[in-house]
Every structure is written in structure tokens, then in C-alpha cells.
Amino acid sequence: HGFRMDAEAHPFAEIFYVLDGDGVFTVAGRRHECGAGGVVVVPPAAEHGIEVGIVANAAAELNRHLHASKDGI
């Protein structure tokens, strides 16, 4: 399971650089999937939040279900 930062806003801009892993940034109501090497710029006063690890977890879960169906489990 991943990390989650609830939505917040600041009077200044923020820049996030993703070092490793993946997740979803929500900025001003729009979701942006992001992975290692990605950059997210949050404008001043924009509400933003982060969910880390959910992209990989969702893909792993889908992959597990596909293999289970193939194997008849």
C-alpha cells in the first residue's frame, strides 16, 4: 500500500520531482499519473494531493487477476 497526502493549498507554487515509484497527483481537480523522473508543478493556491504507489498496485492487481483467470484459479 502507498502513501497518501490529503488535499491542501498554499499561497506559493510547488514543484515535485518523482525520484522512484509511481502515483497520482491531483492538482486543481485533475488527476495526473506520474512515475520516476516525472515532474509535477502546482501553481500558487491550487488545491493538490498525492497518492503514491496506486498505479503500480492497480497494475499488479490486474496482472494477478489475468493470471488467475488464465490458470483457472
User: What was the pLDDT predicted at 48?
Assistant: 93
User: What was the pLDDT predicted at 53?
Assistant: 74
- pLDDT digits 0-9 by tens, 9-66: 999 999 988 888 888 999 999 999 888 888 999 999 999 998 887 555 544 444 454 5
User: What was the pLDDT predicted at 66?
Assistant: 52
What is the value of pTM for the model shown? 0.66
Question: Would you say 47 and 9 are in contact if contact means Cβ atoms under 8 Å apart?
Answer: yes
User: What was the pLDDT predicted at 49?
Assistant: 92
User: Is 72 a residue whose pLDDT tops 60?
Assistant: no
